[in-house]
């Protein structure tokens, strides 16, 4: 059960309208790493959780919080669009300078949503459920969560640099703080799970399924050998089950790629015939 309270988790009021910045904010609402993505990702992970109750509770706490973040950003976008009706924009655009600035506004804000937020990114691409990760493997999912929060915090920091509006910066400052917490909580949970079940996902794969001769070798498949200096090329692997090595000249084990000729009914292009002189 969800319950909506008519209060924002944190205030979302700009000092002044700014339709162009409203377009930019759409990225952290409906972009790949925006609040809609993390809200849906965490909620589906939580709804599908079959494991330890403390992990499910952590996921649901955070997923529900992210719904509130969606509301905050949507409210901020709507307020940034205040006093920006289309006819006033058209009049203002007669001035070349103002027209150049207003020309960057998301037309969907005026045409589709009636000066409100939309579930899309800053380029107008609709939000996609394919952005979310909810695999049922809690360690794999928590690693995806850590990445989502890392990318999201990076985008919020970049947006912070793009404005001098005090009200916007206060909201973004709050989001930076919550992203800090979320990165730390997922990292702490990941470490706890790795201590319990190991580093590799899934941990339930029997050893006989895996060609273990190839499990801990870094292959040199690009020019240069700088990667050889890393901790991933020598010493004990993080899972404690192998020793890293480096192969500067990887061998080909599969032989040449040779395919049978296509059957006539496929109407494939025949091999090019070179006429001898």
Over residues 36-66, the pLDDT tens digits come to: 999 999 999 999 999 899 999 999 999 999 9
User: Contact 177/30 with Cβ under 8 angstroms?
Assistant: no
Do 25 and 127 have their domain in common?
A: yes
Over residues 71-113, the pLDDT tens digits come to: 999 999 999 999 765 555 555 556 555 555 556 788 888 888 8
Do 59 and 186 have their domain in common?
A: yes
Of 149, 122, 161, 131, the C-alpha closest to 65 is: 149
Do 98 and 190 have their domain in common?
A: yes
pLDDT in the model for residue 262: 87
Do 214 and 98 have their domain in common?
A: no
Domain count, the chain: 2
Do 182 and 47 have their domain in common?
A: yes
Average pLDDT of the segment spanning 12-30: 95
Average pLDDT of the segment spanning 126-142: 97
Average pLDDT of the segment spanning 201-216: 93
Residue 2 domain flag:
no
pLDDT in the model for residue 103: 60
Tell me the Cα Rg of the chain: 26
User: Contact 73/122 with Cβ under 8 angstroms?
Assistant: no
Residue 105 domain flag:
yes
Do 163 and 231 have their domain in common?
A: no
Residue 127, domain CATH = 1.20.1260.10
Do 129 and 31 have their domain in common?
A: yes
pLDDT in the model for residue 98: 54
Judging by beta carbons within 10 Å of its beta carbon (0-12, 13-18, 19+), is residue 83 exposed, middle or buried? exposed
Residue 254 domain flag:
no
pTM for this predicted structure: 0.87
Tell me the pLDDT band of 274, cut-offs 50, 70 and 90.
low
Do 32 and 127 have their domain in common?
A: yes
Judging by beta carbons within 10 Å of its beta carbon (0-12, 13-18, 19+), is residue 71 exposed, middle or buried? middle
Do 73 and 54 have their domain in common?
A: yes
- Assign 158 to helix, strand or coil: helix
Average pLDDT of the segment spanning 226-235: 96
User: Contact 220/169 with Cβ under 8 angstroms?
Assistant: no
Over residues 142-200, the pLDDT tens digits come to: 999 999 999 999 999 999 999 999 999 999 999 999 999 999 999 999 999 999 999 99
Residue 252 domain flag:
no
Do 96 and 140 have their domain in common?
A: yes
Residue 167 domain flag:
yes
Residue 135 domain flag:
yes
pLDDT in the model for residue 239: 93
Domain of 168 in residue numbering reads as 19-197
């Amino acid at each position: 059960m969800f319950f909506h309270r008519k209060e924002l988790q944190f205030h979302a009021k700009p000092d002044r309208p700014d339709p162009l910045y409203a377009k930019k904010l759409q990225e952290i609402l409906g972009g790949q790493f925006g609040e809609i993505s993390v809200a849906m990702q965490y909620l589906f992970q939580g709804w599908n959780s079959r494991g330890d109750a403390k992990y499910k509770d952590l996921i649901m706490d955070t997923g529900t919080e992210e719904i509130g973040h969606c509301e905050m950003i949507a409210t901020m976008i709507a307020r940034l669009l205040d006093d920006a009706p289309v006819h006033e924009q058209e009049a203002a655009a007669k001035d070349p300078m103002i027209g150049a600035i207003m020309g960057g506004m998301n037309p969907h804000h005026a045409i589709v949503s009636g000066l409100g937020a939309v579930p899309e990114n800053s380029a107008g691409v609709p939000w996609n459920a394919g952005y979310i990760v909810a695999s049922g493997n809690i360690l794999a999912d928590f690693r995806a969560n850590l990445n989502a929060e890392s990318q999201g915090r990076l985008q919020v920091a970049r947006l912070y640099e793009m404005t001098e509006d005090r009200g916007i910066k206060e909201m973004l400052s709050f989001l930076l703080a919550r992203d800090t917490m979320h990165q730390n909580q997922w990292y702490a949970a990941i470490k706890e799970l790795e201590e319990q079940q190991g580093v590799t996902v899934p941990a339930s794969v029997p050893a006989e399924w895996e060609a273990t001769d190839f499990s801990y070798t870094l292959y040199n498949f690009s020019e240069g050998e700088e990667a050889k200096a890393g901790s991933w090329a020598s010493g004990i692997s993080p899972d404690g089950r192998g020793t890293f090595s480096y192969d500067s000249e990887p061998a080909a084990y599969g032989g040449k790629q040779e395919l049978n000729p296509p059957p006539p009914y496929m109407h494939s292009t025949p091999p090019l015939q070179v006429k001898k002189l």
